[in-house]
């Protein structure tokens, strides 16, 4: 599913937005995040040089995180008071809390690993949501997520530019 979304955004934004803008936008989107940005930047799609793509994807991925950490609890609490939004708020909370075990058990490093391992349902957005729901201190959660993003950057650079670079480069 991630590949299809990355391709969809790449195709529909091409010609409207510069390649760098496309990977920045994709890196900001939940589910896709930095992983999707680096896939879009790879030789298989947009062919943005790795040293240009990495900082753009990191900034795009980290930019929404402070807002999530600081505001998501208030937003979800408000959503629960509005009948039409209540199911969405409860679904988000339940989905995030179903993945909290690793973060709760290992705290700082658990959150970093959760964000850093590129598996479905993990990433900076979900990590920030979990950290916020667990009431982690802002700077501890932010630094942990940043380390996780660095780990994801290394893994996805190898996949996007190593493996895909060999196949499409």
- Ordered DSSP codes for the chain: -HHHHHHHHHHHHBTTB-HHHHHHHHHHSTTTHHHHHHHHHSTTTT---HHHHHHHHHHHHHTTHHHHHHHHHHHHHHHHHSTTTHHHHHHHHHHHHTT-HHHHHHHHHHHHHHHHS--TT-SHHHHHHHHHHTT--HHHHHHHHHHHHHHHHHHHHIIIIIIHHHHH-
Domain regions of the chain by residue span: 2-62+157-168, 65-151
Q: What is the pLDDT along the chain (169 residues), one digit of tens a residue?
A: 678 889 898 998 988 999 999 999 999 999 899 999 999 999 889 999 999 999 999 999 999 999 999 999 999 999 999 999 999 999 999 988 888 887 888 899 999 999 999 888 889 999 999 999 999 999 999 999 999 999 999 998 888 887 655 555 5
Alpha-carbon span 37 to 2, nearest angstrom: 11
Specify the pLDDT at position 97: 86
């Amino acid at each position: 599913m991630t590949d299809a979304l990355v391709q969809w955004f790449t195709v529909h934004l091409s010609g409207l937005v510069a390649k760098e803008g496309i990977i920045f936008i994709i890196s900001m989107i939940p589910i896709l995040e930095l992983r999707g940005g680096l896939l879009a930047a790879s030789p298989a799609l947009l062919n943005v040089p790795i040293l240009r793509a990495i900082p753009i994807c990191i900034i795009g991925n980290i930019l929404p995180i402070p807002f999530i950490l600081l505001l998501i609890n208030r937003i979800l609490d408000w959503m629960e008071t509005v009948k039409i939004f209540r199911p969405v708020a409860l679904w988000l909370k339940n989905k995030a809390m179903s993945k909290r075990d690793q973060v709760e058990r290992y705290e700082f490093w658990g959150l970093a690993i959760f964000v850093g391992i590129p598996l479905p349902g993990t990433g900076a957005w979900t990590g920030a949501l979990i950290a916020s729901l667990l009431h982690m201190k802002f700077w501890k959660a932010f630094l942990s997520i940043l380390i996780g993003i660095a780990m994801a950057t290394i893994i996805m650079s190898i996949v996007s530019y190593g493996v895909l670079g060999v196949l499409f480069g």
